[in-house]
Amino acid sequence: MTGPVAPALRVTGLRVTFGGGTDRDAPGLTGVTLEVAAGERLVLVGASGAGKTTLLRAVAGLVPIDEGSIEIGGKDVTRLPPERRGAVYLHQSPVLFPHLTVEENVAFPLRIRGVPQGEARKRVHEVLDAVRLADLGHRPSGALSGGQRHRVALARAVVARPSLLLLDEPLSSLDPGLRHEIRDVIVHLQAQVQVQIEAQGEDPEARGHNRAQVQPGLVLVTHDLEEAGLLGHRVGIVMEGGLAQLAPPEEIFRAPATLEVARFLGYRNELPCAPGSGVEARLFGGVATKDPGEAEARNVARDVGRDFRAGNTAAGSRSVVVLPPGSVRVVPASRSSTLSEGEAGEGRGRWVPLPGRLRHLAHPGPRPLARVEVDLPNARPVLLEAEVEDAALADARADASGSFEAGSPVVLLVDVSRALRF
Amino acid sequence: MRWATARSRSEAPGAPPAGATRALRWVLFGVLFLTTLLPFGVLVVTSVARSWFWPDLLPPTVSGDAWTELLRGGGRLAPATATSLLLGLSTGALAVAMAFPAGRAMARLRGWRRHLAAGAAFLPVAAPPLAVGVGLQYSFLVAGLGGTLPGVLLAHLVPAAGYVSLFFLGVFAVHDDRLEVEARTLGATPAQALFHVTLPALRRPLLEGFVLGFLVSWAQVPLTLLVGQGVVPALPLEVLSYVQAGQDARAATGAILLVIPPLLVMGLAGFALRDRPVVVA
């Protein structure tokens, strides 16, 4: 190997229309540009119909594209049929060949490539071992449980050592226990498989002779944010046929690129800031706040080829402040005046109190969720949500003057250093 | 435990008593015997009967002449059976070869296009064979196919391909075409996907389609008569001619022959598919 290896996947300016490109067709994907490094896991998330599966199928060669180029393992595959792309596409529910046994299913990619029987048998046993199905090799594929079928499909996908794995919602039909198991299998298999990818060098002639042993790239589609965070080295948010943001999961959650992305992530606490309303002054008071613009926006523009943020900021002078989960705490009104700075903010951030009235206390998880109506200067009251911490509940119980009854006065403490302004 | 289950089921509110169920079962067996096996038994007796007239319950004398003639290859039944077998097997195979892609293409159509295509496939099935035969007779005479075995084969293919296409339309309507997609991304060319995945996975419907095509051809009288012009000796035509001539023993022997091959073909197909999944995907 003389240079860095080519990316497992490079998509440039991809445009796909549903239905073959006639005038009446709705755009499926527009201007999608992304790279997946060898050994990297990119997770695509987005609402239904956003274009995630279309992107995956376009890369696999199962959907005709209108514009753009696709490289897999350093080779331009834009005009190649699916079988010559070096990428395996797996459907949401595993599709095993019903007339073949488990072993025969896994051996299928090797058989059609003409791999000698001895070598094929060895590789099949290795990969079946890796997914802990070595004992079930002779079983008909129809006699497997759901989890076993998933493992066979994954084993079959990697046995031919493709440069790229494309998994379309592989965990969505599984129960939570099985989902955990298959997630581990995916990570394990990707780490085990070694594929040959072209090394990139200065000399184009020498490039073809220099191949590096690397792990395959993996692109996985899901609509589950937790799954995306757990599996992905990077997460791509697909919206309206484009990539709204492409970044490591921690960055996505810390600094969503647009208001739409923030909403997709489930950030429900929004404060509308009309010009002159004084909301921003009340919250920030001249303090420089965290603005997801600039660096992240530049990153998005470079990586994605589409500046979502520019469209947002150009929309007008009205802006929205989004308060991410964990940046809002609720305390009884009686307790707020006695909180020290350290108590309120656990030593970090700048906490601004917003008085309000408890509308409702729900129990969606281990901690109660308070919905609080907050009065804003020169604006309509807004409803904000905050998890009620154990300490706040204990305070409310201990202090007769403070409570979490519906209608009781409470105070929301907002960590403005984590607030996002769009 | 099975006894307990059966008992509790029979004692379930609203369920008929066990005795009534048993009686009904025997009645149904009786009806089946009278309508299927008894006529077949009468055929067997007729094939060996000599001078058997009403009101005799059984033939006064028996003779194996008709069968001996058949086994020795004499008479007209043996060559007619061979011709019919050749026609049936060829029709079954060719109908599947034509109907498999046709049914697949029709299943991929949507809305009025699919209805139109299915209607076109149904037309030769819906039209009376006599009408189809009269139409084909003239065309085949012009084409020089009248009175020839290939002509009769082509004529049989008209309804057979229609039936089998409609059968495959149903098969492909529920067939999971992700199998081919998966095979393609695993590295299979379209031909490899067809021969290594689609055809083996659809072995059962393929054999069933073949049997259907065989049966359509095997019992075909009007088309064989009109296009074959009496020159092509198919078994049903010979049976008819023996009936018309009053040669009951030969007619019965031919009728038995008409029954045996379809049973054999279906039995063999069932045996070949005994371990195959019923699902088409």
| Chain A residue nearest residue B273, CA to CA | A99
> Same domain for A281 and A329?
yes
pLDDT tens for A403-420 read: 778 888 888 888 888 888
> Same domain for A236 and A316?
no
Q: A80 at the B interface (CB within 8 A)?
A: no
Task: Kindly list the residues from chain A whose CB atom is less than 8 angstroms away from the CB atom of residue B176.
Answer: 95
> Same domain for A85 and A201?
yes
The mean per-residue pLDDT over the stretch A18-36 comes to 73
pLDDT at B142 over 50: yes
Average pLDDT, chain A: 81
Domain limit, last residue, from A210, A245, A280: A245
pLDDT at B38 over 90: no
pLDDT tens for A133-155 read: 999 999 999 899 888 999 999 99
User: Residue A210: inside a domain, yes or no?
Assistant: yes
CA distance B3 to chain A (A): 28
pLDDT tens for B106-118 read: 999 989 999 999 9
Contact at CB, A83 and B187, closer than 8 angstroms: yes
User: Residue A2: inside a domain, yes or no?
Assistant: no
Q: For chain A, percent helix, then strand, then coil, each to nearest 5?
A: 35, 30, 40
| Chain B residue nearest residue A61, CA to CA | B185
pLDDT at B273 over 80: no
Residues 6 or more apart in contact with residue B125 via CB below 8 angstroms: B159, B162, B163, B166
CA distance B97 to chain A (A): 21
pLDDT tens for A270-280 read: 988 776 667 77
Q: In this structure, what CATH number is given to the domain that contains residue A161?
A: 3.40.50.300
CA distances from residue B150 to A307, B123, B157, B227 in whole angstroms, order as listed: 69, 22, 10, 10
CA distance A71 to chain B (A): 16
Band of pLDDT at residue B275, cut at 50, 70 and 90 = low
Task: Kindly list the residues from chain B whose CB atom is less than 8 angstroms away from the CB atom of residue A87.
Answer: 185
> Same domain for A211 and A351?
no
CA distance A144 to chain B (A): 14
What domain range includes position A219? 9-245
> Same domain for A168 and A299?
no
> Same domain for A226 and A95?
yes
The full set of domains in chain B, from first to last, is 2-63 (no CATH), 75-272 (1.10.3720.10)
Q: How many CB pairs under 8 A join A and B?
A: 70
pLDDT tens for A97-113 read: 999 999 999 999 999 99
Average pLDDT, chain B: 88
CA distance B9 to chain A (A): 30
pLDDT at B90 over 80: yes
**pLDDT on residue A335:** 67
**pLDDT on residue A26:** 58
pLDDT at B61 over 50: yes
CA A308, A309, A310, A312 torsion-angle sign:
positive
| Chain A residue nearest residue B190, CA to CA | A83
**pLDDT on residue A308:** 35
Band of pLDDT at residue A7, cut at 50, 70 and 90 = very high
User: Residue A380: inside a domain, yes or no?
Assistant: yes
pLDDT tens for A48-100 read: 888 999 999 999 999 999 999 999 999 999 999 999 999 999 998 899 999 99
> Same domain for A209 and A352?
no
**pLDDT on residue A294:** 42
Q: Find out whether A42 and A220 touch, Cβ atoms under 8 Å.
A: yes
Domain limit, last residue, from A211, A245, A279: A245
> Same domain for A65 and A188?
yes
The mean per-residue pLDDT over the stretch B247-271 comes to 87
Minimum mean pLDDT among A107-116, A148-157, B271-280: which range?
A: B271-280
| Chain A residue nearest residue B201, CA to CA | A99
Domain limit, last residue, from A182, A212, A245: A245
Q: A83 at the B interface (CB within 8 A)?
A: yes
> Same domain for A274 and A188?
no
| Chain A residue nearest residue B188, CA to CA | A83
What torsion do the CA atoms of A124, A129, A130, A131 make, to the nearest 10 degrees?
90
CA distances from residue A51 to A33, A58, A220, A243, A321 in whole angstroms, order as listed: 14, 10, 13, 9, 28
Task: Kindly list the residues from chain B whose CB atom is less than 8 angstroms away from the CB atom of residue A82.
Answer: 181, 184-185
Q: For chain A, what is the domain count?
A: 2
| Chain A residue nearest residue B204, CA to CA | A99
DSSP single-letter state for residue A84: G
CA distance B197 to chain A (A): 7
User: Residue A253: inside a domain, yes or no?
Assistant: no
Best residue in A80, A83, A141 for a mutation probing chain B (most B CBs within 10 Å)? A83
CA B254 – CA B238 distance, rounded (Å): 8
Contact at CB, B196 and A112, closer than 8 angstroms: yes
The structure tokens listed for A57 are 């199928």
> Same domain for A236 and A119?
yes
Band of pLDDT at residue B2, cut at 50, 70 and 90 = very low
| A residues 107..126 contacting B (CB < 8 A) | 108-109, 111-113
User: Residue A256: inside a domain, yes or no?
Assistant: no
**pLDDT on residue A273:** 79
Contact at CB, A62 and B185, closer than 8 angstroms: yes
User: Residue A250: inside a domain, yes or no?
Assistant: no
| Chain A residue nearest residue B279, CA to CA | A98
> Same domain for A88 and A233?
yes
In what helix (H) or strand (E) does residue A372 lie, and over which residues does it extend? strand A369-374
Task: Kindly list the residues from chain B whose CB atom is less than 8 angstroms away from the CB atom of residue A111.
Answer: 196
The distance from CA A237 to its chain's CA centroid, rounded to whole angstroms, is 6
CA B83 – CA B89 distance, rounded (Å): 10
Best residue in B175, B180, B186 for a mutation probing chain A (most A CBs within 10 Å)? B186
pLDDT tens for A373-392 read: 988 777 788 899 988 877 77
The mean per-residue pLDDT over the stretch A345-356 comes to 70
User: Residue A261: inside a domain, yes or no?
Assistant: no
Best residue in B179, B185, B198 for a mutation probing chain A (most A CBs within 10 Å)? B185
pLDDT at A210 over 90: no
Band of pLDDT at residue A121, cut at 50, 70 and 90 = very high
Q: Strand pairing partners for A153?
A: none
pLDDT tens for A282-296 read: 777 644 444 444 434
CA A59 – CA A218 distance, rounded (Å): 12
> Same domain for A336 and A198?
no
Contact at CB, A97 and B192, closer than 8 angstroms: no
Band of pLDDT at residue A125, cut at 50, 70 and 90 = very high
User: Residue A162: inside a domain, yes or no?
Assistant: yes
